[in-house]
């Protein structure tokens, strides 16, 4: 019996990759409701604490500003969605570490 | 005297003076292009309006009373929107690049967002634009120099508004509000939730409100019919205030009696259960005297998500439900949806006629892995409480046998894996297709119970899509063909010695329930809010009257005759119970042109 949903391993700090123009982290939306208003607010709030520029992208979608709750909501990311976070700037790695943690803890 | 129509979202009647919390802002939005020198001051004016509103929201948050705590979360998201670069930032940029005034720039920024949100597939996310509109509306009001001071209310008032935001809610002195009326909003709007929490009537979507009503006008808010009566004449006022007291007495009366069993004067017992789709509804079921869950719609956990729910998630959900409701019976209906309606992972099918397509049990047999996961979760949860399972949209014997074979497979797997479950889990089917009705005697030998789903049965029997306005007037629960179908199913069930229940909207209709009782149906299952009123009707009925009514209905050759006859009989038998229900004949609207 296979479960329809197999949990992909959740990202740890090790998963943050350095690229020429900044850092990249792939995350999975694990919380049940997806990026609804509350998780989206929390995510934007945290992102705003960092100076670097942080973009998020859903597969095939456009990149949006992680500091904008409205941008995040327009991704309509449900549970299980895979997202790519990209950050560029002085505290980019740190920012991705913190945001990755939020996803891991299901925004609790 | 004038009457304004809207959507009723909280029951009750209030009579009082109008007090406007806010208006939409007089006239059209001012649109100006600015000389270079005024651009910087205009940006500052915009920023000030945003800041002012942010401060007001923050102050409002401090004042939220404990019982309205859930609104604080909405306030937080409003605050985030207010500070969002995509709203304030974009509006600011429009002032700078296009040299337009702040109102216009903000309106353009909102229009951009509207476009982005409208494109979303998911209803929840699409609806978030409402929050953006509310927030920007308040900023527009500040740009226009208006500020509402809600704490200035001195005596109890009927609160009127273009829209009530959660921030307003927090600053309301709720004991001073006797009713709520808004221009915006729909059936599920925030205003309705608030009004029901406060126990006051509310009508939303009253488009004419701002034009017709002034502060201080005497108004009657009728949250039963969804109307606002302006400057009522003395007689009308007297009639409405009588109605108000009658409603309050009626409401108190039905709530007092709702925990008594559903039993007629002459001792015939009818179980009254609830239809629900979320665990959160259980308290209402219990408070309103529900004797079990006659229909648990399991679709909710499958919707609005990218991946299917796991067996573990479903197991936990069903286990919680069974445990809270124990020892009362909980009937879980397996997934009843078309491929269009849920789980984006299945992809969309190109179906010309989805109502006759791959849905409900057919969809489950098409995706055996999804079906079995759900059956395993249901079986595992059956160790607790009192669970039964039913299959939707059964058309014949083969589907029952296939579904039961799948259940047997799930049992065997669980046994092998060492999971416990109730080996005698009762299994039933929904009777909602005319084919199943015709062979009810055959199907009755295969299952432990029937549940008649009249909403679909009526549609499929009469060939009517009730959401199609050209034919919806022909959707008639008491059509002779429908009444005979139900009677046939009840008789077949009883001959086979199995229980039969009915879970469509007919179960909450006081004009239909006595007819069903005449058939000696065992159980009805309905929306929890309607249970107290229906129970009271059952407790004032006699089986003799119900059987006589059924006899007349079965002899009637047409639905028009039936409706007239039922209406006359029911009004005569329950003169005090029907004041708050719309009559059968009112529902026979003429077809749309």
> Considering the entire predicted model, what is its pTM?
0.63
Q: Find the CB nearest B369 among A4, A38, A69.
A: A4
Domain A17-104 adopts which CATH fold?
A: 3.30.1340
pLDDT at B342 over 60: no
pLDDT of amino acid B155? 75
What pLDDT, on the 0 to 100 scale, is given for residue B441?
98
Looking up tokens 């889990």 gives B425
**For A79, which DSSP code?**
T
CA-nearest residue of chain A to B72? A38
Average predicted confidence (pLDDT) for chain B = 87
Active site residue B190: yes
What is the CATH classification number for the domain harbouring B108?
1.10.274.10
The number of distinct structural domains making up chain B is: 3
Query: What pLDDT is recorded for position B26?
Result: 47
Contact call for residues B532 and B254 (beta carbons, < 8 A): yes
pLDDT class for B465, splitting at 50, 70, 90?
confident
- Nearest CA to B485 out of B511, B506, B509, B470 is that of B506
Instruction: State which of B145, B176, B205 marks the end of a domain.
Output: B145
B305 chain-A contacts, CB cut-off 8 A = 32, 34, 78-80
Task: Say if the Cβ atoms of A70 and B309 lie within 8 Å.
Answer: no
In a domain, B128, yes or no: yes
Q: Distance between alpha carbon B165 and the CA centroid of its chain, in Å?
A: 21
**DSSP class per residue in B69-98:** THHHHHHHHHHHHHT-IIIIIHHHHHHHHH
Domain boundaries, chain A: 17-104
Query: Of B74 and A56, which is predicted with more confidence?
Result: A56
The domain in which residue B213 lies consists of 1-18+156-257
| Res. B11 pLDDT band, cuts 50 70 90 | confident
Within 13 Å, how many C-alpha atoms sit on residue B207's CB side?
Answer: 0
CA-based Rg of chain A, rounded to a whole angstrom? 13
Nearest residue in chain B measured CA to CA from A33:
B305
Number of A/B CB contacts below 8 angstroms equals 86
Q: CA triplet B344, B345, B346: central angle to 5 degrees?
A: 90
- CA-nearest residue of chain B to A76? B125
Q: Do B13 and B69 lie in a common domain? A: no
pLDDT surpasses 70 at B147: no
Burial B277-313 (b: 16+ CB within 10 A, else e): eeeebbeebeebbbbbbbbbbbeebbbbbbbbbbbeb
Among A40-44, B40-44, B47-51, B447-451, the range with the most confident prediction by mean pLDDT is: B447-451
Q: Which of B71, B162, B190, B479 is catalytic?
A: B190
A14–chain B nearest CA distance, Å: 26
The chain A residue lying nearest B414, using CA atoms, is A1
Q: Which of B257, B279, B302 delimits the end of a domain?
A: B257
Does a structural domain hold residue B99? yes
Residue B103, classed as helix, strand or coil, is helix
Instruction: Answer yes or no: do B298 and B428 share one domain.
Output: yes
The interface predicted TM-score (ipTM) is 0.78
- Catalytic residue of the set B258, B364, B503, B523: B503
Contacts of A39 in chain B (CB under 8 A): none
For residues B135 and B284, membership in a common domain is answered with no
Nearest to B86 among A40, A68, A79 (CB): A68
CA pair distance B24, B46, nearest whole angstrom: 18
Considering only CB atoms, A5 lies closest to which of B121, B132, B308, namely: B308
B240 or B470, higher pLDDT: B240
Pairing relationship of beta strands B387-391 and B427-431 according to DSSP bridges = parallel
SS (H, E, C) B140-195: HHHHCCCCCCHHHCCCCEEEEECCCCHHHHHHCCHHHEEEEEECCCCCCCHHHHHH
Average pLDDT over residues A53-63: 88
Confidence of residue B77 (pLDDT cuts 50, 70, 90): confident
User: The domain that contains B227 carries what CATH number?
Assistant: 3.50.30.10
Tell me, what's the pLDDT at A9? 44
> Is B546 an annotated catalytic residue?
no
Whether residue B206 is found in the same domain as residue B77: no
Tens digits of per-residue pLDDT, B536-567? 999 999 999 999 999 999 999 999 999 999 99
Contact: B413, A1; criterion CB under 8 Å: yes
> Of B203, B230, B257, which one is at a domain's C-terminal end?
B257
The DSSP output letter for B263 is: B
């Amino acid at each position: 019996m296979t479960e329809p949903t197999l949990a992909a391993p959740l990202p740890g700090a090790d998963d943050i990759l350095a690229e020429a123009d900044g850092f990249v982290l792939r995350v999975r939306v694990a919380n049940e409701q997806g990026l609804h208003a509350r998780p989206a607010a929390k995510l934007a709030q945290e992102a705003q604490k960092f100076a670097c520029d942080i973009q998020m992208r859903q597969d095939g979608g456009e990149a949006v500003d992680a500091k904008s709750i409205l941008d995040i909501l327009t991704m309509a990311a449900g549970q299980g969605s895979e997202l790519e976070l990209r950050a560029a700037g002085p505290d980019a790695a740190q920012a991705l570490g913190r945001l990755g943690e939020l996803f891991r803890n299901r925004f609790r | 005297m004038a009457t304004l129509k809207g959507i009723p979202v909280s029951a009750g009647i209030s009579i009082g003076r109008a007090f406007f919390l806010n208006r939409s802002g007089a006239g059209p939005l001012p649109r100006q292009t600015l000389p270079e020198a005024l651009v910087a001051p205009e940006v500052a004016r915009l920023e000030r309006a945003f800041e002012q509103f942010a401060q007001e929201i923050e102050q409002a948050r401090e004042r939220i009373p404990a019982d309205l705590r859930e609104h604080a979360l909405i306030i937080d998201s409003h605050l985030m929107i207010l500070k969002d670069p995509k709203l304030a930032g974009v509006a600011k940029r429009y002032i700078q690049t296009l040299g337009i005034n702040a109102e216009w720039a903000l309106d353009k920024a909102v229009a951009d967002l509207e476009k982005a949100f409208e494109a979303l597939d998911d209803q929840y996310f699409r609806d978030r634009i409402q929050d953006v509109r509310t927030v920007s509306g308040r900023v527009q009001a500040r740009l226009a120099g208006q500020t509402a001071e809600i704490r200035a209310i001195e005596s109890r008032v009927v609160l009127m508004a273009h829209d009530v935001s959660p921030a307003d809610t927090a600053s309301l002195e709720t004991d001073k509000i006797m009713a709520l009326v808004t221009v915006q909003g729909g059936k599920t709007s925030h205003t309705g939730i608030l009004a029901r929490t406060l126990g006051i009537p509310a009508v939303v979507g009253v488009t004419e409100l701002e034009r017709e009503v002034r502060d201080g006008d005497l108004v009657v808010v009728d949250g039963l019919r969804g109307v606002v009566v302006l400057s009522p004449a003395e007689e009308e006022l007297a009639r409405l205030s009588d109605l108000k007291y009658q409603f309050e007495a009626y409401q108190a009366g039905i709530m007092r009696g709702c925990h008594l069993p559903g039993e007629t004067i002459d001792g015939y017992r009818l179980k009254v259960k609830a239809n629900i789709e979320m665990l959160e509804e259980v308290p209402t079921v219990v408070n309103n005297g529900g004797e079990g869950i006659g229909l648990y719609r399991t679709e909710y956990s499958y919707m609005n998500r990218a991946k299917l729910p796991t067996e573990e998630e479903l197991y936990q959900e069903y286990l919680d439900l069974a445990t809270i409701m124990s020892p009362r019976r909980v009937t879980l209906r397996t997934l009843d949806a078309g491929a269009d309606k849920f789980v984006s992972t299945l992809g969309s099918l190109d179906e010309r006629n989805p109502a006759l397509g791959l849905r409900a049990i057919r969809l489950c047999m098409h995706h055996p892995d999804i079906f079995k996961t759900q059956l395993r979760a249901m079986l595992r949860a059956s160790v607790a409480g009192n669970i039964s399972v039913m299959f939707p949209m059964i058309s014949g014997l083969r589907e029952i046998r296939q579904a039961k074979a799948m259940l047997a497979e799930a049992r065997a797997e669980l046994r092998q894996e060492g999971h416990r479950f109730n080996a005698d889990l009762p299994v039933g089917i929904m009777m909602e297709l005319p084919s199943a009705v015709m062979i009810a005697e055959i199907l009755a030998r295969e299952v432990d119970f029937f549940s008649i789903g009249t909403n679909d049965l009526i549609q499929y029997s009469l060939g009517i899509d009730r959401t199609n306005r050209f034919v919806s007037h022909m959707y008639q629960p008491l059509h002779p063909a429908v009444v005979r179908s139900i009677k046939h199913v009840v008789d077949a069930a009883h001959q086979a010695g199995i229980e039969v229940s009915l879970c469509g909207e007919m179960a909450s209709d006081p004009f239909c329930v006595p007819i069903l009782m005449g058939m000696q149906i065992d159980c009805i299952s309905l929306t929890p809010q309607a249970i107290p009123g229906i129970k009271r009707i059952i407790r004032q009925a006699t089986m003799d009257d119900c059987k006589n009514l059924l006899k007349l209905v079965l002899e009637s050759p047409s639905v028009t005759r039936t409706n007239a006859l039922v209406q006359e009989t029911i009004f005569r038998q329950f003169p005090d119970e029907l004041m708050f229900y719309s009559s059968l004949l009112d529902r026979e609207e003429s077809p749309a042109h």
